[in-house]
Amino acid sequence: MLEYPRLVVVTPDGPVPWLIATRLTAEYDTFELLFSRRRTLRVTIDSPVLPLVHDRRGNLVVPRFGRSKRSPRDQTATRIDIRIRDGAISLDRGGVRFGNIAGNAVALLEPAHTTFRVARLSGVSQMRGRPGSIRAEGVAVVSRGRMRFDPLYVVLDRSRIRSAIDWDLAHARVVSSRTGLNPLDLAEVMRLLDLAPVTRGSLVGEVSFTGDPTSGNAAVRLSGTIAGEPVDELTAQAQLVPGAVRIDDALARVRKAEVSGSAVIETHGALTADVRLKNVDPGLLPWWRLPASTPHGLLNGDGRIRAIQAKPYPIATVTLDLHQGKLGRLGIERGAVTARLGQHGDVAIDSAWVDTPGARLLGSGRIAPDTTLSFSFEAVARDLGAMDSLLRPVGMEAGQARVTGSIRGTPSAPDYQLQGVIASGRLKNGMAFDSLRLTSRGHLGPAPSGVAELEVARLRAGDRPLGDVVSTLTITDKIVIERFRQKSGDTTLALHGDVRFKGRAAIVTLDSLTLAAGAREWKSVGTVDASLEGEELKISHLTLATDPGRLDVAGSVWFEARRVGARATLQGIDLSRVIGSGESPNAPRGIADGDLLLAGPLDDPDIQANLRVTRPRFGGVSGDSLSMSLTYAPGAVSVSEMRWVAGRGLASLAGTVRPRLKFQDWMGALSRGDHTWTSRVELALAGTTESLDLAAFAPIDTSWSSLRGIASAKARVSGTAAEPILQLEARGSALALHGVEADSAEFSGSYAGRRLTLSRLDFMRAGATSHLEGSIPIDLALYGGRRWLRDEPMALKLRMANADFGVATLFVPELAASAGKLNVTADIRGTPSRPVVTGSLKLVEGVLRIAGRDEVLEGLEVEATFDEHRVNVTRINAREGRRGRLSGSGFWQTAEGRHWGNYEFRLHATEFTVTDRETYLFRFSGDFRAQDATNPEGMEVPRITSVAPATLSRGELTLDLSRPREEPNTPTPLLYDIVIDVPRNLWYRNLDTEVELMNGQLTLRNEGVRDLVLGTLEVKGKYYIYSNEFRIVSGRISFTTLDRIDPDISIEAQTTVAGPGSESRVIYQTLSGRASQLKVHLHDDDPRHSESYLWKVLTIGQFSSAGTEVSTAEGVAPVAGPDATLPVRNYLFRNAERWLAEVGFIDTIDLKSGTATGPNTSGNPIGLLGVGKYVTPELYVKYSRNFSSTAEQIQSLSAEYRVTRHLLLRGEQIRGKPLSPAAGGTGQTVAPPQQYNLDLKVRLEY
């Protein structure tokens, strides 16, 4: 037993007790202790005290322990059971002290290390006003001069801390540590450390530390909430030095705002910090409860804080340099604020200034501890035109201004003064003035009072002077409105009058009131008389007139009782001038007269309305008249009559609507889009229509443009708006829509419980009747979400006898046209998403054309049976054109998740023709399969494949193979893989080419990305180059590319060109390579002729003498033989096509050389030039001129118009001239001066 043991740390200031106790008792077995290798001791420590203190330099006193020198032969192990009773721990800073500490621990001393296990150690706070408890447990291992705590748990009432610490015993420092907080309750910790003001919050994260309290480094990464504000990130790096903590790289992110910087926290309570602000929103400042009117913005800048701990509030000096940002509509270029926070909670703003575009704002003031305000401010604007964002909606273009003012008093009711002058002001709307002076003073608060004066000198609009404007509001015993004008966009409100007080009554008299909105203007007639006495606002007289029409309003409102009694009368008001945009074709139109009465509580008044509209039009639907008379009493809307008359037709509605809610709540729900009111509104309505012309409804939607017919109907509506119950009977005659006609139609049915029951739906046309009855699930609630209930049961019976198949185009948009006689007997049950159909179908005399295609199936006959989820098509027969035939069979069945279901049809085509009328035409025979498929984009599309190679009997291609399509891969609406045998008669034609492809097989394929052609064909035919006809001697075209249509071409062709004298020569041409990069070469039988020379020969149309170009020597007269101008002409003709093609408006060019003939061979053999242009794809115009002196026709103008594919009309005007004597003529006109030719060309296909 030891009495008052203690552990003393020797410091430069003297010995410091580090751990003391009143008594230490050890119990042990002496024999075991002396002779056994396994020893056990029980130690009890009474009243241990751990006083943590700092030395004179502010460093925490911590003991150091040297390493023990245990003999290697000592293999004993000692277990010590430790019991602690009534202990305490304290800190000399902040008065922290915990007592009543008790617990148990076990120490195991082994040769290599010593292990301490603290099972449970707990204590309570002994600090007045700072209750709390502390618990600790963990494991510590001492080895090689270090003590390793891992884990160490410290638990307060609401905080949980877990640490792993590596402690150097010899140097009394932390080698490494990591402390996890999960969570750390801020209020609990601040209360225990006596930090004020106490802030509530909770943080989680990790703290790491190395070193000792005088020389260490720490890192913090936390997140959580502080004072109710979410802290996204809180990180810092800290360095501990004697007497202070240096914080570097601190960062806090709260509400997208970032605050970063560094600080020095001294142990005696002083703080110095440098901070950087980024994207701080003043309207959302964390931990500040600012007024709701505080503007939002983004503040950026640098700040410096110097604070000293004091009570009850710290003393601080804050300086802030603002960078570019904004505060509400105030743009901040730069600024500075200097403020002081006093010990008693007062705030003094010594100076503050902000530079905004065009101005500088200055202010200073003080907030006293009792929150009394004393502020003064000033604004100096150099250029009001640069302050658009701040002055909106007033758009200033130029001007200078100075505004000064002050605010003093309590925050709830301060006094204010304001003076301002604007000079040389100019608005963007053209308004301008020399000066504007504003003066206002008064008292703010719940009962404000003051005076405001506004003076504008020399107001003008552009160059038009408007004089002076004075607006004065004097708030004393009366409010005098000398002049008031308010403009917002194209709306202007101007009034003049006064408000007088008589006893408790305020009497308002307005001499004039004008409300203008664009071209619409309402003006008061006479004076506007109103009064406010007590709670009653009474409008005795208010008449507003517009052109045409007027509105009279009179009545009273009792604010406290929340009651109203008012009457309004409309007289001859043009709806197009007061509702919507009058220029819009769908704008409401008509002349309205009526009256409106309100009486009763504001939230649920009695209402009576009578309205009459002459020549109404709503949503494009026009009528002769509309009248309605309805009343509302709490709980019931009575519609006496609502009648629409259009020609001989009319529609009417009458009945009651009973809302089980107040009128104000009803209207509020409508404005909020709250649909719950529908279950609380009961309906009892009856509607009728008689001889209503359905064509009147065609303007509602373009898809109804062909709607025709006369309809009459009767309907009754009951139930609620959420679950209506309907009874409907209707009949129509001469009905038509999108070419589908019916002589008459009759309908009888009902709706209830989200089910429409069709008692009868009959369509009659030309003696044929289509009948439908049964029930379908549908939601006709006013705000029904899903109208079509796809998973609810249905039951229908369909009977169609010789019905018009044209109705198919109404339901299948993929069909462009349909016709025929349709006979259907079908019973439908199941659900709309998975119907079960039984029965049969037969179509005769049918006509069908797919949208976007020119192929028309005529004489279509289809026979099919319905087998629950499957339609079995047993027979398909149709004609296409004069020769084409199509037959086949197949099936269609529903499939989960597929709009068009699963289907497969096997078709046999004979002489079937497909074409797009522009780039291809094919006539073929073969067997094909059409079935459902999905393209790479996941869209449902049909797939067509050939069962066996089809045979092509005729085909034409006009697409430009030299320009392969390079557009990006786009999904196509059709997939196909078709093999076609091409024995002959597949022609490729354009302006210069007419070749036949034969003796091969082609594969046409599209997998949803692009069209592909694969295969090889032989080539025969001819083509033209510079008006020279080349006939193909041998050729082959191979389609081998898998990413585009770009065939490989190998062709040998020849042409005959005139030579010197009467001989002719052959030029050979070879074409090789891809169509997009075709290689063209020329050669002939004379090896001396270069390829460039042969191209020149093709350009001018003949060979020169001996293949050379001869020029005449100077001074020698020309002689018969080679033309001296031929080299120049050859050069010009060789480049003319290239030059003219660059102009852009010429499509074709013909160039031919001429020769001099006749008695005088020195005539000018210039040749022929022709240019042509396609004005439209069907109309071609050409002009040509012959420059040869021997020509009889010197110029011609022709036009060709392609009427159809097989018919072409050609007209030509020719002008001639007489031959001159120099050219061998006689001076007489050989050809008529002007000729006209008209040709009709017919193209026969075989």
What per-residue confidence (pLDDT) applies to 1139? Answer: 44
Chain segment 352-387, per-residue pLDDT in tens: 998 888 888 899 998 888 878 888 988 898 888 777
- Judged against a pLDDT cut of 60, whether residue 968 lies above it is answered with no
Q: Pairing state of beta strands 23-28 and 14-20? A: unpaired
Residues 350 and 301 in one domain: yes
Residues 267 and 204 in one domain: no
- Judged against a pLDDT cut of 80, whether residue 714 lies above it is answered with yes
- Judged against a pLDDT cut of 70, whether residue 1112 lies above it is answered with no
Which residues are within 8 A (CB) of 114 and not within 5 positions of it... i.e. 6 or more apart? 107, 108, 141, 142, 143
What per-residue confidence (pLDDT) applies to 1242? Answer: 73
**Structure tokens belonging to residue 689:** 């229509």
What per-residue confidence (pLDDT) applies to 1156? Answer: 41
Burial class (CB in 10 A: 0-12, 13-18, 19+), 1048: middle
Chain segment 1022-1075, per-residue pLDDT in tens: 988 877 889 999 999 999 988 888 889 999 999 998 877 777 889 999 999 988
**Domain assignment of residue 74, yes or no:** yes
Chain segment 228-262, per-residue pLDDT in tens: 778 888 888 888 777 788 888 888 888 778 888 88
**Domain assignment of residue 410, yes or no:** yes
Q: What is the mean pLDDT of residues 628-649?
A: 90
Top mean-pLDDT range of 305-314, 778-787, 1008-1017, 1169-1178: 1008-1017
For 227-370, strand residue ranges (E) read 229-241, 244-254, 257-266, 270-280, 297-308, 315-322, 325-327, 330-332, 334-341, 347-356, 359-367
| Cα–Cα–Cα angle for 827, 828, 829, rounded to 5 degrees | 125
Residues 322 and 188 in one domain: no
**Domain assignment of residue 423, yes or no:** yes
Output the DSSP codes for 443-470.
E-SSS-EEEEEEEEEEEEETTEEEEEEE
**Domain assignment of residue 717, yes or no:** no
What per-residue confidence (pLDDT) applies to 1123? Answer: 39
Residues 1246 and 1156 in one domain: yes
Q: What is the dihedral of CA 1154, 1156, 1158, 1162, to 10 degrees?
A: 160
**Structure tokens belonging to residue 1231:** 């050809």
**Structure tokens belonging to residue 572:** 């001859």
SS3 state at 924: strand
Q: Which residue has the higher pLDDT, 427 or 162?
A: 162
* Angstrom distance (rounded) from CA 339 to CA 366: 9
**Domain assignment of residue 128, yes or no:** yes
Residues 429 and 332 in one domain: no
* Long-range CB contacts (within 8 A, 24+) of 636-644: 639/685, 644/616
Average pLDDT, whole number, for the chain? 81
Last residue of a domain, one of 532, 561, 590: 561
SS3 state at 392: coil
Rg (CA), the chain: 51
Burial class (CB in 10 A: 0-12, 13-18, 19+), 715: middle
* Angstrom distance (rounded) from CA 45 to CA 20: 10
Q: Which residue has the higher pLDDT, 468 or 471?
A: 471
SS3 state at 1068: strand
Q: What is the dihedral of CA 774, 779, 781, 784, to 10 degrees?
A: -170
Q: What is the mean pLDDT of residues 717-743?
A: 86
- Judged against a pLDDT cut of 90, whether residue 708 lies above it is answered with no
Residue burial 44-64, b: 16+ Cβ < 10 Å; e: rest: bbebbbbbebbbeebbbbeee
* Angstrom distance (rounded) from CA 323 to CA 335: 7
Exposure of 849 in the CB half-sphere (CA atoms within 13 A): 10
Residues 136 and 93 in one domain: yes
- Judged against a pLDDT cut of 80, whether residue 182 lies above it is answered with yes
Phi and psi torsions of 574, nearest 5°? -80, 115
Residues 17 and 163 in one domain: yes
* Angstrom distance (rounded) from CA 585 to CA 423: 47
Instruction: Please report which confidence band the pLDDT of residue 465 belongs to, taking 50, 70 and 90 as the band edges.
Output: low
SS3 state at 667: helix
pTM: 0.47
Residues 326 and 371 in one domain: no
Phi and psi torsions of 65, nearest 5°? -125, 135
* Angstrom distance (rounded) from CA 928 to CA 303: 81
Last residue of a domain, one of 335, 356, 377: 356
Residues 347 and 441 in one domain: no
Identity of the residue numbered 294: T
Domains in the chain: how many in total? Answer: 5
**Structure tokens belonging to residue 1047:** 């065939």
Chain segment 1120-1172, per-residue pLDDT in tens: 333 333 433 343 344 444 444 444 556 676 666 554 444 444 444 446 777 78
Residues 311 and 431 in one domain: no
**Domain assignment of residue 518, yes or no:** yes
Residues 461 and 520 in one domain: no
Name the helix (H) or strand (E) containing 139: strand 133-143
Phi and psi torsions of 344, nearest 5°? -100, 15
Q: What is the mean pLDDT of residues 324-335?
A: 83
Q: Chain centroid to CA 507: how far? A: 53
Percentage above 90 pLDDT, the chain: 17
- Judged against a pLDDT cut of 70, whether residue 197 lies above it is answered with no
Domain that holds residue 68: 1-213
Last residue of a domain, one of 168, 190, 213: 213
* Angstrom distance (rounded) from CA 508 to CA 467: 28
**Domain assignment of residue 885, yes or no:** no
Exposure of 551 in the CB half-sphere (CA atoms within 13 A): 16
Instruction: Please report which confidence band the pLDDT of residue 961 belongs to, taking 50, 70 and 90 as the band edges.
Output: low
Task: Select from 800, 878, 870 the least CA-distant residue to 836.
Answer: 870
Identity of the residue numbered 309: Q
* Angstrom distance (rounded) from CA 717 to CA 715: 7
**Domain assignment of residue 204, yes or no:** yes
Residues 302 and 333 in one domain: yes
Phi and psi torsions of 1068, nearest 5°? -100, 145
